[in-house]
Structure 1
Amino acid sequence: MTVVALIVIGAAAGFLATRLMRIEADIPTTMFIGIIGALVGGFVLRFLSSVMGILSGFVGAVLGALLVIWIWKTYFHKR
Structure 2
Amino acid sequence: MPILYLIIVGAAAGFIATRVLDMRTSVPMTIGIGMAGALFGGLILRLVGSLFGFLGGFVGAVIGAMLLIWIWKKLSERG
**Aligned CA-pair RMSD:** 2.0
Once the two structures are aligned, what percentage of the paired residues are identical? 47
Q: Computing the radius of gyration over CA atoms, which structure comes out larger, 1 or 2?
A: 1
Deviation at 1:48, TM superposition (A): 0.9
Give the equivalent residue in structure 2 for 1:20. 20
Shift in Å, 1:4: 4.8
Structure 2's unaligned 5+ residue stretches are 51-79
Shift of residue 11, structure 1, vs aligned partner: 1.3
How high is the TM-score relative to the length of structure 2?
0.53
Q: Secondary structure at the match of 2:25?
A: coil
Task: Return closer, same or farther for 1:40/1:3 CA change in 2, 3 Å cut-off.
Answer: farther
- Work out the CA distance in 1 between the residues paired with 2:48 and 2:15: 25
Q: How many residues align?
A: 49
The unaligned stretches of length 5 or more in structure 1 are 51-79
TM-score for both structures, normalised by structure 1: 0.53
Between 1 and 2, higher relative CO (CA 8 Å, sep ≥ 6) is seen in 2
